């Protein structure tokens, strides 16, 4: 409850500062509309914004789910296979040298302007953080636990699934929290490159028609969706793994 009150207080202060800047600097609405105008536009265009927000939310949720599963499986493969570590880890690092944003036009060309090019962007942008966080946690299993497993003649498979994976789930949770923030970025970048629906598409459309208040309204909805997604993932991680 106290956390919610603090967040609400910070949000109110931010809105007041925003309105003060617009009023005192006498900024024109096509440069920076005030929050009153933006929220008024959000209310009058709520059906339009909601339609595009649903599309972006679906892209983000599917990308987060698939990226989390792929990152989980990849981290386990790296943890159990020295050959995979020697071959794949350098490739993972190299892929991060290529800006993911630069791949958006290629993914749009390959997968089209629909859902899957945006899902692929979201997956790519969260895959490395999830894999890296979970792999590091798998490799930091307390040595005493592993010694106990060897004394009890546990098989490698049982050691992995009964000891190493449960001990590493807080690391996986940390990766998912990061992914919840990064996934919307991937989806929006994909929509900017090529889409016919979604908040990113709506922002471009509004900008092209000089409807800056609508663009800010879509941006606020995107920020709220990201905060809600992060809060939901955080709550789920705390409930499932206590971390």
- Indicate the domain borders of the chain: 1-31, 33-241
User: Which residues are within 8 A (CB) of 33 and not within 5 positions of it... i.e. 6 or more apart?
Assistant: 22, 41, 212, 213, 216
Residue 218: partners with Cβ closer than 8 Å, 6 or more residues away = 49, 52, 199, 202, 203, 206
Give CA 30 to chain center in angstroms: 30
Classified as helix, coil or strand, 84 is helix
Number of Cβ within a 10 Å radius of residue 12: 10
Q: Decide: helix, strand or coil at residue 31.
A: coil
Q: pLDDT tens track of the chain, all 243 residues?
A: 677 678 778 888 988 898 898 888 888 888 889 999 999 999 999 999 999 999 999 999 999 999 999 999 999 999 999 998 888 887 777 777 777 788 888 888 899 888 999 999 999 999 999 999 999 999 999 988 888 888 888 888 999 999 999 999 999 999 999 999 999 999 999 999 988 899 999 999 999 888 999 999 999 999 999 999 999 999 999 998 876
* Contacts with 19 (C-beta within 8 Å, 6 or more apart), sequence order: 34, 35, 36
Using alpha carbons, select from 76, 101, 100 the residue that is nearest to residue 88. 76
Is the dihedral angle over the CA atoms 194, 198, 199, 202 positive or is it negative? positive
* H helices present in 112-211, as ranges: 115-138, 143-151, 156-159, 165-193, 199-208
Residues 6 or more apart whose Cβ sits within 8 Å of residue 160:
76, 79, 80
Output the pLDDT for position 92.
Answer: 78
User: 5: part of which helix (H) or strand (E)?
Assistant: helix 2-25
> What pLDDT score was predicted for residue 169?
95
Distance CA 94, CA 90 (A): 6
* Superfamily holding 33-241: MetI-like (1.10.3720.10)
């Amino acid at each position: 409850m106290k956390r919610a009150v603090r967040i609400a207080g910070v949000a109110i202060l931010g809105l007041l500062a925003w309105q003060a800047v617009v009023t005192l600097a006498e900024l024109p609405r096509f440069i920076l509309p005030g929050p009153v105008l933006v929220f008024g536009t959000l209310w009058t265009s709520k059906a339009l914004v909601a339609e595009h927000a649903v599309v972006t939310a679906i892209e983000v949720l599917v990308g987060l789910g698939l990226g989390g599963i792929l990152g989980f499986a990849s981290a386990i493969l790296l943890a159990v296979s020295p050959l995979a570590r020697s071959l794949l880890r350098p490739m993972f690092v190299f892929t991060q040298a290529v800006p993911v944003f630069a791949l958006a036009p290629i993914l749009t060309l390959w997968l089209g302007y629909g859902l899957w090019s945006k899902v692929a962007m979201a997956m790519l942008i969260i895959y490395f953080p999830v894999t890296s966080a979970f792999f590091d946690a798998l490799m930091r299993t307390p040595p005493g636990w592993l010694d106990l497993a060897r004394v009890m003649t546990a098989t490698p498979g049982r050691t992995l699934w009964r000891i190493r994976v449960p001990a590493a789930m807080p690391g996986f949770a940390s990766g998912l929290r990061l992914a919840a923030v990064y996934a919307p970025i991937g989806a929006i970048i994909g929509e900017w490159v090529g889409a016919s629906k979604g908040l990113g598409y709506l922002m471009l459309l509004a900008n092209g028609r000089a409807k800056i208040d609508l663009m800010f309204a879509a941006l606020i909805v995107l920020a709220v969706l990201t905060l809600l997604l992060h809060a939901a993932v955080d709550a789920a991680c705390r409930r499932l793994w206590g971390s």
